[in-house]
Amino acid sequence: MRASSAPPALRRWFTAVGPVDRVGVEERVAKFTTRSIKKAAKVQGLKLAVSMVDLTTLEGKDTPGKVASLCRKALRPHDDPAVPPTAAVCLYPALVRAARRALGDRSPVRIASVATAFPSGQTALATRLAEVRRAVADGADEIDMVINRGAFLAGELGRVRDEIAAVVATCGPAALKVILEVGELETYDHIRAASCLALTELRPGDFIKTSTGKTGTNATLANTQVMLEAIRDHYLDTGIAIGMKPAGGIRTAKQALHFLVAVKETLGDAWLTPARYRFGASALLNDLVRQLEKERTGAYQAPYAFSEAAESY
Amino acid sequence: MPRLPVTKTPKPYVGGAFIRSESGRTRPLHDAAGTFLAHVPLCTRKDLRNAVEAAAKAGPGWARRTAYNRGQILYRLAEMLEARRAEFAAALVRFGARRAAALREVDAATDRLVHYAGWADKYEQLLGGVNPVAGPYFNFTVTEPMGVVGVLAPAAPALLGLISLTAPVIVSGNTAVVLASEPQPYPAILLGELLATSDLPGGVVNLLTGTRADLLPTFATHAHLRGLSAVADAAERRTLDLGAAESVKRVRYTPDAPLATWLGDAAQGLEPIRAFTEAKTTWHPIGA
């Protein structure tokens, strides 16, 4: 489906990156949910998923105390030492220092900070860059930026690209994750176009990310698949491997395994590592640990038996 | 031209929806005369797991309702069962009950619902209260529901047994995952159709059909089930007791008994409600 009403610059970019076959993508991802992953393979998949979680808290009511407990949870998700730490914690820039205090300097858990006026991105570029600079100075290892969706949809692709480039330059050593906010891009063609646009500016070790988790539509297998295929095409063209981070809406271990199947069957084993694949999630970690505990003990577990659970019934 | 009969696919009622077992397994169900009736799903431990998730989701909303409202909903259920008295009796007769006994069972099941509907806003006064203390503060005990409770219904009476065990569990705000009578699952299927159109929120009562041997171990060990109300033989009790000890679960057994016992007043009352509530005791200073 070509968006014929799109601005000319956007239309030219669509032609360059190619369209998305909507029916094909949706049929393809429906197949990912039919794989049978049991026993040892399941345990391996669940542990891999734990090691890929960006344990996230992005609420107005976050406090340094809550961040400290989140960090402890990220370091040691469960009392079973066979459960690995998560890849990172993900929080607002104002809490990066609290997280660094809680984790120390040589932590296996990285600190990711959303920046650039997350989640809307609607402030002046200078303000957004200042926020990135400050977060990195406070100790963030990774920056999650949002793209300028308004500019993208208005066809100002050069501006979107320049802003990404400016954030890349400002990040310095910190890895960058570019949030496309797929819920606001509306079509698969737009998602592919935005993915390809961001990929041209990113360095190896950077990521593209589906969404902020603050809008109605979050990561689905289908929109993640469109982005994975953009990463694959970019890799085949340039040899530069960019990572992927679906975020928002992934709450169950079963969903996480479906997403891992999608990565394995689209990008291959080289992407089955926290260096190239992340889950942006908060409730997911507990369900992963719960399913691991079920595999270990053979008995189904209650959700409230795990720390920081929201469920009490 | 003769009309083709429209036969029913019996489906268990779980989480407010009619499900097929995730396993796809069924067993043929024959009536007392040996006539094939339908294929009934054989639910598995994964269906049980899903039912527990559904029950846990429905739990907070159900527990938050006022006692008065829970009573109204149970009473409404009795009204609906009364209206479908003939249909339920016919189903019991079809599986071997004598007509008079079937009608007595349906009537007793209806009355049992009314009985527990009446208890809804009264058990708290008897189970909780203001405790006497020798100091300048109050001390209260109030009851709270436990959470998700498993119910293992007896083989017979298929309808009255199931309702006698389930109603006292849900009246206090628990939600229930119920395994229907293994030889006679059909009344539970009918009951599911009744529940679906009642005011009971989806997920408060979840009815599974299947074999006890398949499901009992999971009922015993599932940590999210806080209690079990069961009719079970000695071997089954051993399985349930071991699993319940591991998952720190309260178990209440009701002896297997003939219909006459289930019909009687001794088969109902406050005790089955008390068994699935927790007592919370708290103090409060006087004058503050």
Residue A166 lies in a domain: yes
From chain B residues 131-160, the ones with a CB under 8 A of any chain A CB are 147-148
Residue A234 lies in a domain: yes
Q: Which residues from chain B sit within 8 angstroms of residue A36, using beta carbons?
A: none
Which residue pairs from B131-140 have beta carbons closer than 8 angstroms and sit at least 24 positions apart in sequence? B131/B281, B133/B283, B136/B285, B136/B286, B136/B287, B137/B283, B137/B284, B137/B285, B137/B286, B138/B283, B138/B284, B138/B285, B138/B286, B139/B281, B139/B282, B139/B283, B139/B284, B140/B281, B140/B282, B140/B283, B140/B284
**Bond preceding residue B157 cis, omega within 30 of 0:** yes
Q: Are B224 and A302 within 8 A, CB to CB?
A: yes
Q: Are A302 and B221 within 8 A, CB to CB?
A: no
Q: What is the pLDDT of residue B122?
A: 97
Residue B118 lies in a domain: yes
Q: Are B221 and A301 within 8 A, CB to CB?
A: no
Q: Which residues from chain B sit within 8 angstroms of residue A303, using beta carbons?
A: 56, 224
Distances (CA, A) of A122 to A125, A148, A150, A151, B94: 9, 8, 9, 11, 70
pLDDT tens digit sequence for B59-81: 999 999 999 999 999 999 999 99
Residue A4 lies in a domain: no
Residue A275 lies in a domain: yes
Residue B83 lies in a domain: yes
pLDDT tens digit sequence for B90-111: 999 999 999 999 999 999 999 9
pLDDT tens digit sequence for A122-132: 999 999 999 99
Residue B203 lies in a domain: yes
CA distance B244 to chain A (A): 11
Number of domains in chain A: 1
Q: What is the pLDDT of residue A310?
A: 62
Range of the domain at B180: 13-276
Distance CA(A223)–CA(A242), nearest Å, equals 17
Residue A181 lies in a domain: yes
Residue % of chain B over a pLDDT of 90: 97
Structure tokens at B83: 């209206």
Nearest to A226 by CA among A180, A275, A158, A184: A180
Contact of B101 with chain A, judged by CB distance below 8 Å, is answered with no
Q: What is the pLDDT of residue A9?
A: 81
Contact of B69 with chain A, judged by CB distance below 8 Å, is answered with no
Beta bridge partners of B283: B139
Residue B227 near residue B250, CB atoms below 8 Å: yes
CATH number at residue A227: 3.20.20.70
pLDDT over 70 at B230, yes or no: yes
Q: What is the pLDDT of residue A4?
A: 54
Residue % of chain A over a pLDDT of 70: 97
pLDDT over 50 at B155, yes or no: yes
Q: What is the pLDDT of residue A312?
A: 61
Prediction pTM value: 0.92
The 10 Å CB-count burial string (b at 16+, else e) for A18-37 is eebeeeebeebbeebeeeeb
DSSP string, A30-87: HHHTT----HHHHHHHHHHHHHTEEEE---TT--HHHHHHHHHHHH-SSSSTTSPPPS
Question: Based on C-alpha coordinates, what's the Rg of chain A?
Answer: 19
Q: What is the pLDDT of residue B8?
A: 86
Contact of A38 with chain B, judged by CB distance below 8 Å, is answered with no
CA distance A300 to chain B (A): 5
Of residues B45, B218, B223, nearest to A302 (C-beta): B223
Lowest model confidence (mean pLDDT) among A4-13, A62-71, A107-116, B215-224:
A4-13
Q: What is the pLDDT of residue B197?
A: 95
Q: For residue A1, name the pLDDT band (cuts at 50, 70, 90).
A: very low
Distance CA(B59)–CA(A81), nearest Å, equals 33
Residue B1 lies in a domain: no
Nearest to A119 by CA among A69, A60, A181: A181
Q: What is the mean pLDDT of residues A79-92?
A: 96
Residue owning tokens 């009795």: B78
CATH number at residue B46: 3.40.605.10
Q: What is the mean pLDDT of residues A92-111?
A: 96
pLDDT over 70 at B248, yes or no: yes
For A64, counting Cβ atoms within 10 Å of its Cβ (0-12 exposed, 13-18 middle, 19+ buried), the class is: middle
Q: What is the mean pLDDT of residues B109-137?
A: 96
Structure tokens at B168: 């006292």
Average pLDDT, chain B: 96
Q: What is the pLDDT of residue A14?
A: 87
Residue B203 near residue B54, CB atoms below 8 Å: yes
Residue B284 lies in a domain: no
Q: Are A303 and B56 within 8 A, CB to CB?
A: yes
Q: What is the pLDDT of residue A5?
A: 67
Number of domains in chain B: 1
Range of the domain at A35: 11-298
pLDDT tens digit sequence for A159-175: 999 999 999 999 999 99
Of residues B56, B222, B243, nearest to A313 (C-beta): B56
Residue B287 lies in a domain: no
H/E stretch holding A301 reads none
Contact of A34 with chain B, judged by CB distance below 8 Å, is answered with no
pLDDT over 90 at B191, yes or no: yes
Residue B218 lies in a domain: yes
pLDDT over 60 at B250, yes or no: yes
The residues of A carrying an active-site annotation are 144, 209, 245
Tell me what ipTM this predicted complex has: 0.89
Contact of B247 with chain A, judged by CB distance below 8 Å, is answered with yes
pLDDT tens digit sequence for A21-72: 999 999 999 999 999 999 999 999 999 999 999 999 999 999 999 999 999 9
